[in-house]
Structure 1
Amino acid sequence: MKSSLRVLLLSVLLVSPMAAAQAPATVQDPEAFIADYAGKHRFNGTVLVKQRGEVVYSHSFGEANMALAVPNTRQTRYRIASITKLFTATLVMQLYEEGKLDPERTIATYLPDYAGPAAQRVTVHQLLNHTSGIDNMDKVTSAEQALTEGIPAYQHPWTSDQLLARFASGPLVHEPGKVFDYNNGDYVILGKIVERLRSKRFDEVLDERILKPLGMADSAMLRQSDIVKGLASTYFMRDDLGRLVNDLPVYPENWYAAGAMYSTVDDVLTFSDALFAGRLLRQATLAKMFTPGLDDYGYGLWSYTTKVDGKPYRVVKRPGQIMGAQAQLYRFLDADLTVVILSNTGTTDLDEFVAAIGKRYVVAPAAKR
């Protein structure tokens, strides 16, 4: 199988966000393009577009459960993978605004019992933008390896404390601040910092600080033991078999603050609207989050300038992928345009899809539907 498990499991971008967004624009109607692209690329999931304060497009494709032929709908709950990181970064920056956390202080400042060699050398800032240099927690590098050996970090019922100790406290393999290395372990550490400073479990903080205030009743952290009504089953492509198969058995809670959430397109949009409108963080704090570092990565998202028909636009983007679970939150900061895509199959290049949708709505605004 050609697919890398690190791509399948860890929400790593397959193409650079800027390259995807800079494809030449077309006059094709956005809705016609979405339908055509979805059909040609076997897209399975829901697309939602909001422009100038109005939802101008929403449509679902394929099935939430293939065995039972249950269709995807706008109400379907999907695993949102690393969109979770943007929630975590928001919780961290709320602590910053309250004066309880300084991004330039080290891990040991907030987790004095952290045993890794990064304790006194790696800052919260470096965790947020994936330049910690801490040994990456994900060692499985191919689907073949996962199928024959398993995935240690995700197929054993670890507690968050065990995840921290076993998978996020390794040696420094890069000088802190010098190399971008997308590492779920960075956000495991951040989740534990949130817990320590709030004196509550991460899911409780998430619920109290974001989900309940925004009325996001269709969003929460996943646990293997929970039966979640309306949650889409997930399927990834086995290249050696040439077909979709059920995702590998895992404990979804092991993605913790790095990727364990589920949500709907409307709830993700609600979060996006509140975040970018300054209802969760002040605008000055958002500017800090959106400042691109290495690989154009800010705090919990990619931030860059792209061009559509020669005109520059500031874009922020938060993708996610864990096997068949794929997700995209894509916002044009200068055009009041947001695209949310949630999917339960690993069949479509959502980096390309979301960028193409965005540029079409920018150049050809649609009427409310």
Structure 2
Amino acid sequence: MNKNLLNKINQIQAEKNFSGTVFVQTGESVIFDKSFGYANRAEKIENQSNTRYGIASGSKILTAIAIAQLVEQGKVTFNTRLKECLNIHFPHFDESITIHQLLTHTSGIPDYFDEEVMDDFEELWIQRPMYHIRRLRDFLPMFELEAMKSQPGSMFHYNNAGYILLGLVVEELSGVTFTDYVEKNIFKKCSMDAGYFEMDSLPERTALGYIDLPDGKWKTNVYSLPAKGGSDGGAFVTAKSMAELLEALLNGLLLNKETTNQLLTPHASVNESISYGYGIWMKHENRSISKYYLMGYDPGVNFRAAFYPETNTKIVICSNQADGAFDILTGIEDELNIK
């Protein structure tokens, strides 16, 4: 294990009280794989390399891959309009919305959690208890009757509801639930140690998410998130298995070369240096992509994964508390001199 990297990460871990797993691989060599903190604080069960963590919106890449597989099967195209492939009526939605726009957060539809309107994810469950949210259709009453936010294709606006709709498209075209589709066609294909688990019946080796309170106490996130995740977020993975997913995607195990390139193309500009593809972010330097990355934030969940094409380096950081992953990632980038 790289001693300088170990010292750097240990320093940040101590400063941030980081809890989770850090995995770094360059080429075929794993240069760092270490876990910190507890998967279960009350029982003092430590996080380990094979601990599975929630990754929140880091899961959107799975939805994008699922849609892209259906495109390859000829069941839909990226330019297909939503109304042509999903048998649900949205009275106020623009009829020109396409799969491409949903994938790139440019559809203009209303979101069920709009960060411009609210900043506390837990507020969502006051009137609609989270333990009732176990299927994708359970999200629909939270946005299906709302008005459009903008014209389709006119602007980038990060949108969870769009990915709920994409998951429903997967269900309608495949004939199985979204989570069953992903488990068979992505997790099993990549031999990933991953799943969509219900918050009130988590299996072994799965970290509880923790929310630290101002008075020094803490609580788990079981009452803060939907009972079961889906196409906008909520998968549980090991850090290593997320690196395996990136490897499988890049090596053509999940999609052909043309479709993979489509997924990894900058489709929507976020700012001068950041763009969004299909379910994945990317950073530009000198007119080329220097980094592809995934991120996820939920109460008790903090996730970052990145791939650096120039050095063939993959970094995955999974945490079962609210922050720390970005700080660890930045520290690794500094130590390895990659951005």
Question: Under a length normalisation based on structure 2, what TM-score does the superposition of the two structures give?
Answer: 0.88
Q: Verify: 1:173 aligned to 2:152, yes or no.
A: no
Do the aligned residues in 2 keep the contact of 1:110 with 1:193 (CA within 8 Å)? yes
Do the aligned residues in 2 keep the contact of 1:192 with 1:202 (CA within 8 Å)? yes
Letter in 2 for 1:233: L
* Partners of 1:260 and 1:245 in 2: CA distance: 19
Equivalent residues in 2 for 1:329-368 (5 A)?
329-348=305-324, 350-362=325-337
Equivalent residues in 2 for 1:42-191 (5 A)?
42-118=17-93, 120-138=95-113, 141-143=118-120, 146=122, 150=126, 152=128, 154=130, 156-157=132-133, 159-168=135-144, 170-191=146-167
Q: Name 1:241's counterpart in structure 2.
A: 215
Q: Name 1:228's counterpart in structure 2.
A: 203
Uncovered stretches (5+) of structure 2, i.e. residues with no partner: none
Q: 1:265 to 1:97 in 2, by over 3 A?
A: same
Do the aligned residues in 1 keep the contact of 2:195 with 2:237 (CA within 8 Å)? yes
Q: Any idea what SS the aligned residue of 1:117 has?
A: coil
Q: Any idea what SS the aligned residue of 1:127 has?
A: helix
Post-superposition Cα deviations, 1:7-62, rounded to whole Å, max 9, x if no partner, equal: xxxxxxxxxxxxxxxxxxxxx92222111111111111000001011111101111
1:312 deviates by 6.8
1:165 deviates by 4.5
* Partners of 2:291 and 2:15 in 1: CA distance: 27
Equivalent residues in 2 for 1:211-222 (5 A)?
211-216=187-192, 218-222=193-197
Do the aligned residues in 2 keep the contact of 1:202 with 1:257 (CA within 8 Å)? yes
Q: Name 1:286's counterpart in structure 2.
A: 260
Choose between structure 1 and 2 for higher RCO, CA contacts under 8 A separated by at least 6 residues: 1
Q: Verify: 1:305 aligned to 2:272, yes or no.
A: no
Segment drifting more, 161-170 vs 282-291: 161-170
Do the aligned residues in 2 keep the contact of 1:184 with 1:255 (CA within 8 Å)? no
Uncovered stretches (5+) of structure 1, i.e. residues with no partner: 1-27, 364-369
1:154 deviates by 3.5
* Partners of 2:183 and 2:158 in 1: CA distance: 26
Letter in 2 for 1:301: I
Root-mean-square deviation (Å): 2.5
Letter in 1 for 2:251: A
1:157 deviates by 3.5
Q: 1:169 to 1:106 in 2, by over 3 A?
A: farther
Q: 1:254 to 1:137 in 2, by over 3 A?
A: farther
Q: Verify: 1:272 aligned to 2:246, yes or no.
A: yes
* Partners of 2:85 and 2:288 in 1: CA distance: 40
Q: Name 2:296's counterpart in structure 1.
A: 320
Post-superposition Cα deviations, 1:148-197, rounded to whole Å, max 9, x if no partner, equal: 97373735335322323443553211111122221210110000001111
* Partners of 1:313 and 1:101 in 2: CA distance: 28
* Partners of 1:334 and 1:351 in 2: CA distance: 21
* Partners of 1:211 and 1:325 in 2: CA distance: 21
Q: Number of paired residues?
A: 329
Q: 1:242 to 1:147 in 2, by over 3 A?
A: farther
Post-superposition Cα deviations, 1:69-127, rounded to whole Å, max 9, x if no partner, equal: 11111011111111211011001011112222111121101013332432612111111
